[in-house]
Every structure is written in C-alpha cells, then in structure tokens.
C-alpha cells in the first residue's frame, strides 16, 4: 500500500512540476486558457510566470530546454520562482491574436516574464543569454534571479 501511495505521489509531483524539456509547444493549445491556469497557479504559489514562445521546429528552443535540464541550479530557480507556460508559434498556429498583446518578438525562443496576475514585467530576447552554440550559465541565472518574486 505504501509503495502504491508513494508511486502516486511521485507521478503527481512530476506532472505538477514539469520541466521545460518535458513540455511541448502545442499548436492546438489555447494560450488564453494556459495563461489563465498559469495566473491561478502563480497566485496560489506566489510565483511569476515565465512565458516561453517558440515551436517544436525551433532548434534553439530545444537547446534552451536541454540547457535548463542539464543545470540543476537553474531548474531549482525556475521551479521555486516561476510557473512555465509554453506558447506555440509555428506555421500551423502563430497564435497571432494572443501574441498581439505583447511586444513584438524578433526571434525564438522568446521569454516574457509576467507577474502573478499576468502583467508583463519584461520581454527577453534569449540571444542575449546565448554563448556559442548554447547558453551562458551566469547570464541565465542572473536573468531568473532578477525577475524572481520578492520573498
């Protein structure tokens, strides 16, 4: 019985704390519904929302997800301070109406940090976080720390 309960808790925790690399950019997903759920969760957990705009076609999007997955320190900062919302931008669905409410995006992936109520705090071109063919650990950490909610 204990093993069954423990297994159920592990599965529930994994679903609740999905890592960016496990999440997908879904052309069928409704970003308005996703944002509403993210705002609800962020409010309950006193977190910010990290809205990641990109697509499954985007090599740099996958590099960023892998970079985060490979750096436990960054994942800890992300899980402690942010609710992650992936918003698809692809030929199948550009989510133009939804993204029209945000600053223009020059490249992908692109990050928007929102407060717990959904108000835009910053629009971040991720090329500023890149280094070579990956990302810079210090710059990424500084970005996540800078916009983390005050505790």
Please state, as a whole number, how many other Cβ atoms lie within 10 Å of the Cβ of residue 127.
13
Token pair, residue 91, equals 């030929």
Q: Is residue 10 part of a domain?
A: no
Q: Is residue 83 part of a domain?
A: yes
Q: What is the DSSP string of 29-59?
A: S-HHHHHHHHHHHHHHHT-EEEEEEE-TT-H
Domain that holds residue 100: 19-146
- What is the C-alpha to C-alpha distance for residues 54 and 75, in angstroms, rounded to an integer? 19
Total tally of structural domains belonging to the chain: 1
Q: Is residue 6 part of a domain?
A: no
Of all residues in the chain, the percent with pLDDT exceeding 90 is 83
pLDDT tens digits for 36-84?
999 999 999 999 999 999 999 999 999 999 999 999 999 999 999 999 9
Q: Is residue 12 part of a domain?
A: no
Q: Is residue 110 part of a domain?
A: yes
Q: Is residue 123 part of a domain?
A: yes
- What is the C-alpha to C-alpha distance for residues 113 and 69, in angstroms, rounded to an integer? 19
Contact 147, 113 (CB under 8 A): yes
Residue 22 has pLDDT above 80, yes or no: no
Q: Is residue 5 part of a domain?
A: no
Which has the closest alpha carbon to 81: 121, 53, 54, 133?
121
Which CATH number characterizes residue 37's domain? 3.40.30.10
What's the predicted TM-score (pTM) here? Answer: 0.86
Q: Is residue 75 part of a domain?
A: yes
């Amino acid at each position: 019985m204990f093993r069954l309960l423990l297994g159920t808790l592990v599965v529930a925790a994994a679903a609740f704390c999905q890592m960016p690399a496990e999440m997908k950019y879904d052309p069928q997903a409704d970003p308005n519904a996703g944002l509403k759920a993210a705002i609800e969760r962020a409010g309950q957990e006193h977190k910010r929302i990290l809205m990641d705009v990109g697509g499954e076609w985007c090599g740099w999007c996958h590099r960023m997800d892998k970079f985060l997955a490979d750096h436990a320190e960054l994942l800890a900062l992300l899980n402690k301070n942010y609710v992650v919302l992936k918003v698809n931008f692809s030929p199948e669905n550009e989510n133009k109406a939804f993204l029209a409410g945000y600053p223009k995006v020059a490249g992908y992936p692109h990050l928007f940090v929102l407060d717990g109520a959904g108000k835009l705090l910053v629009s971040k071109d991720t090329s500023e976080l890149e280094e070579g063919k990956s990302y810079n650990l210090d710059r990424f950490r500084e970005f996540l720390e800078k916009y983390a909610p005050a505790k």
